[in-house]
């Protein structure tokens, strides 16, 4: 909260966790180091996600860049943790079937799970072309009645300039290049014990296979998470 939610123009957040069983589901198992999102693939247990009002990104980041240094200077940075991947993204669209949940409410809605898919598009493929292909080819089946996925939000990374990405700690892997896209798949069924992993995760791996087979992009990381319970240490004994 002190690092993000009390800042200007940030209106929603949610924290997620990947327990050991969920880390074991991540694909692909091996990625070239220079394009990896997580090094190694199972790095990173917690995922913090935030939504910022469009058009006010610069105002929030100007505050946040100062705030993070102030927190660390006052011993509030939790230096025992290691960041696996920290990046900022622009929302560039989404894919929905009959979902009643607006995109801007996706973090407030009590979704039971989240799958992130980071991919690098082929050099001559713009995100718009990829999104159109995904909407026409993958989304109809992915967002069907039996699927765990309710909606998909598309993002592209913000590439920091100069000192914009400075921080008092190591931030892990960077945002990638302008060929990078991120898709957030919000799920109505939770990964793990409440998720039929054989059926539901095969839905996700099939999506990854179709992306690869299309020749439009290469999947760098597909990773499932479930929501944390704020104010508790639930799942901390299940990370490794």
Count of residues in the chain? 240
Q: What is the pLDDT of residues 137-159, one digit of tens each?
A: 999 999 988 889 999 999 999 98
- Count Cβ atoms below 10 Å from residue 202 Cβ, excluding itself: 12
Cα separation, 211 vs 57, in Å, equals: 30
Task: Decide: 166 and 141 in contact? Cβ < 8 Å.
Answer: no
CB neighbours of residue 4 within 10 Å: 16
Q: Can you give the pLDDT at residue 166?
A: 64
Distance CA 70, CA 64 (A): 10
| 175-225 pLDDT tens trace | 899 999 999 999 998 876 556 655 788 899 999 999 999 999 999 999 999
Strand-strand pairing, 10-17 and 217-227: antiparallel
Structure tokens at 87: 């990046």
CA dist., res. 119 & res. 122, Å (int):
10
Q: Is 111 exposed, middle or buried (0-12, 13-18, 19+ CB in 10 A)?
A: buried
Q: Kindly report the number of other CB atoms within 10 A of residue 82's CB atom.
A: 11
Q: Are 9 and 60 in contact (CB under 8 A)?
A: yes
- Report the chain's mean pLDDT, rounded to a whole number: 90
Higher pLDDT, 58 or 166: 58
Among 72-76, 98-102, 110-114, 131-135, where is mean pLDDT lowest?
A: 72-76
Sketch the domain layout of the chain as residue ranges. Answer: 15-47+86-230
Instruction: Collect all residues with Cβ–Cβ distance below 8 Å to 162 and sequence separation of at least 6.
Output: none
């Amino acid at each position: 909260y002190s690092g993000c939610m009390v800042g200007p123009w940030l209106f929603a957040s949610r924290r997620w966790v990947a327990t050991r069983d969920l880390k074991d589901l991540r694909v692909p198992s091996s990625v070239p180091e220079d394009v990896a999102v997580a090094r190694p693939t199972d790095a990173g247990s917690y995922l913090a996600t935030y939504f910022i009002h469009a058009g006010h990104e610069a105002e929030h980041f100007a505050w946040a860049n100062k705030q993070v240094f102030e927190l660390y200077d006052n011993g509030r940075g939790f230096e025992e943790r290691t960041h696996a991947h920290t990046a900022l993204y622009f929302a560039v669209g989404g894919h929905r079937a009959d979902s009643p949940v607006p995109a801007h409410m996706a973090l407030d809605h009590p979704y039971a799970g989240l799958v992130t898919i980071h991919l690098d598009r082929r050099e001559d493929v713009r995100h718009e072309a990829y999104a159109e292909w995904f909407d026409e080819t993958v989304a109809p089946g992915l967002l069907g009645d039996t699927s765990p996925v309710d909606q998909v939000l598309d993002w592209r990374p913000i590439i920091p300039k100069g000192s914009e990405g400075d921080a008092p700690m190591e931030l892990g892997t960077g945002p990638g290049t302008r060929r990078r896209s991120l898709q957030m798949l919000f799920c109505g069924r939770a990964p793990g014990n409440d998720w039929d992993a054989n059926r539901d995760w095969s839905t996700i791996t099939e999506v990854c296979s179709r992306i690869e087979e299309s020749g439009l992009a290469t999947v760098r990381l597909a990773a499932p998470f479930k929501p944390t319970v704020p104010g508790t240490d639930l799942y901390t004994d299940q990370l490794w």
